[in-house]
Structure 1
């Protein structure tokens, strides 16, 4: 496994709606690789995760997008769920936070519906990525090339982007993004 020793990884989620397994498995992958994951949201307090449509656990938010920026982190993970990225893409601070990672040339990983936030940040044009299949048209309309693959790494300057389709792809997603983040 790649080492993320000394690296801090932001996990950006909405106050409610993140798919729990798409948060917890990548979080554990960062910790197992020696990195420090930090939970970032648009509001302080606790964030409500979901297991598909059912409420799951809550998670303590470490910092918010209005007081933190990409300069504090080495990489960004965007977990999915339908409601999570749908909320984030309507929040100017969250969109600016995401765009800042691309502007700084820092690697980003997104799974499932998370590319909706990437579309709003206007960072998918010219990139090749995957997602939950229902985002295919949205991504194409935003200038991306969509592929149906377990994991896709797009090395399109200035930032590396790792994407996956769904929870079934989490093992490959976690392996790919930890390797990319370790570079």
Structure 2
């Protein structure tokens, strides 16, 4: 299973990148770091600079068809930057249009809202996004993880870093289910 991780050049919550990344590897998958710029991305541990991570591909030249699923890590600045990038928004929308599973944690649903894929779905997020999700036509719930299959693909969402164990378990199971021969 080949999984895309879409992130902005900076502002990614590090643990929301590294733990899901490791979960994909532990499940026998191959993660790829996709960003809006070449080079390295800067992660953060809340407000403090964390590590940098090398970009594998730039989103504008990347085909969603090369991947079995998509993970959107959070952090406040990361999804805010992604939702302003047309290529990133189109990349996210392409996963939904093709029926592939998408996993998003914390503030990452902002990018889903911009891609206009939240309507009619039930999801969770960092609590401050609940009004944005409702205004986009979604139903917000306060749960550690929510798997919504309302539509051609599964949407797996989670609230915060404390929920990572539930989040990674849910999305790796879903990704394995759809990528199985």
Distance 1:69 1:108 in 2: 15
1:128 counterpart residue number: 122
- Which digits, 9 at most, give the CA deviation of each residue in 1:118-173, with x for residues without a partner? 00000000000000000000000000000000000000121100000000000000
Of the three residues 86, 93, 117, the one matched with 2:80 is: 86
1:151 and 2:145 are equivalent in the alignment: yes
Structure 1: which 4+ aligned runs deviate by more than 6 Å? none
Of the three residues 13, 16, 24, the one matched with 1:30 is: 24
1:76 alignment partner, SS class: strand
2:71 counterpart residue number: 77
Aligned-CA RMSD value: 0.4
Gaps of 5+ in 1: 1-6
Distance 1:13 1:66 in 2: 13
1:95 and 2:89 are equivalent in the alignment: yes
2:48 counterpart residue number: 54
1:44 and 2:44 are equivalent in the alignment: no
2:62 counterpart residue number: 68
Distance 1:97 1:44 in 2: 16
Distance 1:145 1:82 in 2: 21
Distance 2:151 2:113 in 1: 17
* Number of corresponding residues: 177
Distance 2:94 2:150 in 1: 16
TM-score normalised over the length of structure 1: 0.96
1:105 and 2:99 are equivalent in the alignment: yes
Of the three residues 157, 168, 176, the one matched with 1:163 is: 157
